[in-house]
Structure formats: structure tokens, C-alpha cells
Homo-oligomer: A and B are copies of this chain.
Amino acid sequence: MTSAQSHDDGPFTGRDPGGILAPRLRVFEAVARTEHITRAAEELGLPQPTVSRALARIQRELGLALIERTGRGVRLTRAGRTLLPYVRRALKELAAGGAQLTDPDTGTVTLAFLPTLGAEVVPSLIRAFRADHPQVRFSLRQEVWGSAVRSLREGGVDLALTSPVPTERGLSVRVLHTQPLVLVVPAGHPLARAEETPISAVGTDQLIALNRGRGIRHLTDGLFHRAGLEPRIAFETDEVGTVRGLVAAGLGVAVLAARPHSPLPGTVELRITDPGAERSIGVVWHPYEGEPATVASFRAFVLAEGERLVAGGLA
């Protein structure tokens, strides 16, 4: 690995991170390795006096002699020899950290996604992406709507597949798929023969809802609010399966996205006719200057392929 690099400053991100984050370490390492100030300077792309002085400064500040002159060359002192492996390991860490950020093939992508998407959509996305980028690692976090948005804002995740797509300013979004919201009623319910219904038809039925923080709950609350209704919530739970079970048991009705393939036996799903009674699933990210290459690469892939995969996975 020749690390000779000229010191141009373009806005490209591929430069040596150790040299930027810790220039003194790199100087010391080069001198220690070559035991030759002039050669080290050439390798670093710096004039020889700069290296000479930089080293003198380090030693003065540390109060330790790391190299010493020997004839017409230099040699590491014992102290320098002792320090060298630590410096090497430190530079190695920085190089690894830099690779995470700049190398589109070795980074890690942290992805938050809806519980619903964990079974099929996310595995398909990742499998397809890794076919081209096998070194990229993923940190996957199944998170509900509220916490996914918070994680995005706080920098906890790179990308979120969530629903509904948040409207906060500062977050970029792209809708990949839209599902109609349905009213889930037990088989014997008065509305069970209809195909669609306004939310107002719920009347005095008890509502079985997901806990706050879930996207569907957020949408449900908005739906009732816009209709001027106050939902009468009998149960709150975290599991969509539980909700359907409670509805089947005749304990109330629920607002959900249509169940893939068909409704749970013992339940009927009616499309809700109110405007905006839909659930948009989208990808959300927090845009900023100079984002890791890996993240940009994966996001581009999601934007290109996600629509198809999400629609297929939720069919």
C-alpha cells in the first residue's frame, strides 16, 4: 500500500482518515517505520523540514525522546519503539472507522423498519442489495413509527422503513407503497355484509387499538379526529395479531391495514371511505452533507427497488 498522496483538497471523501484525524500519528508512524526522515516525508507528501519539526514538537510536548540521531540517520529510542505498536493500532482503528464512512462496500447500514416488514420485505431488500455489495453489514432494528422517527432525528439509524411517512421538516421521505385502511369487524357484526364504510359507522362500538407510537394508531386517531369523533378504546396492545384475535372474539372493532391474502377467519374487513384513510409506507432518512457512501448506496437501491418489493411483500 503506497500511501503517497498529494495534498489537494477536493470535496471527495476518499482521503486517508488517519492522516486527517491524527496527522501527528501518521508522521510518527512513517518516521518510525522508515527510520529515515527524508523518506518518511516523501511518503507523506510533505517537505522534510516539516516532518523534522513536527517530530521535534511531539517529543518536546511529550517530554520524551522517541527518535535519536545516529550517525547520519535516525533511530527509534526504546520509548519510541514502545509507543509504536500503540500508534499503529490507533491508526488502524481510524482507518477502519474511515472505511466505514467512505468505502461504499465495507460500511454498516443501520435500518429501522416496521414489524410488519420484518418477515419478507426487509429480508428481500437486503438479500438483493448484498448480491452486489456482499461486504456491507446491516444493523437491523424493528421499531414502531414513533421511535423510528425519533431514532432518525437523533442519528440512531440511517434509514427507516416506516408508516406513515412523517411530515417533519428536516427529514426526507419517499412513499413506496400505499395501503387502504380497513375496519375490521367480527363476522356477525351489523356492518359485516358491507364492502366499505365511513369511519362514522363505528358508532358506539368499542375500539381495539394498537398502543400509541404505532403508525396505525396515529392514523386511526387522526381519522376519528377528522370525523369529529372520539374513539372509545377498550383495549390497547402492541401486536396486530392480538388486535385481530380480539376482534374475532367479538370484543370490538379495529382499524388496520388489510391483512395480506385475506382477513383472519371470523373477521371481516371493510374499506374505509373517509378521505386519507390509507397508510403510506415509505423510506425516511435524515439528509446531511457528506453522508457515508454505504448509506447513500443502499438508499439509492431502496428508492429504485423498494416500491416493487414492498408492494410484493405486502400483497
Q: Could you tell me if A62 and B94 are in contact, using CB atoms closer than 8 angstroms?
A: no
Q: A62-B13, A288-B77 are in contact. Are A21 and B24 (CB under 8 A)?
A: yes
Given A63-B15, A90-B93, A100-B83, do A78 and B22 touch, yes or no (CB 8 Å)? Answer: no
Q: Does A79 contact B (CB under 8 A)?
A: yes
A63 to B9, CA, bound (A): 9
Knowing that A65-B291, A78-B286 touch, tell me 14 more A-B residue pairs with CB under 8 angstroms: A21-B62, A22-B25, A62-B101, A63-B290, A64-B102, A64-B289, A75-B155, A77-B155, A78-B157, A78-B158, A79-B292, A82-B107, A86-B98, A90-B94
Contact partner, A288, options B61, B68, B85, B90, Cβ 8 Å: B68
A52 / chain B contacts, CB cutoff of 8 Å: none
Query: Is the C-beta of A97 less than 8 angstroms from some C-beta in chain B?
Result: yes
Q: Per-position contact with B for A82-120: 1 when CB-CB < 8 Å, else 0?
A: 110111011101101110111000011010000000000
Contact A87 B97 (CB under 8 A): yes
Copies of this protein in the assembly total: 2
Interface residues of A (CB under 8 A from B): 9-13, 15, 17, 20-25, 28, 58-65, 68, 75-83, 85-87, 89-91, 93-94, 96-98, 100-102, 107-108, 110, 154-158, 286, 288-292, 295
Cβ–Cβ contact A82 & B64, under 8 A: no
Closest to A60 in B: B9
Given contacts A90-B94, A93-B90, A94-B90, contact A20 B61 (CB under 8 A): yes
List chain B residues, Cβ under 8 A from A290: 59, 62-65, 79
Q: How far is the CA of A61 from the CA of B59 in the complex (A)?
A: 26
Partner of A155, one of B61, B81, B286: B81
Contacts of A288 in B (CB 8 A): 65, 68, 77, 79
Report yes or no: A97 in contact with B77, Cβ–Cβ below 8 A.
no
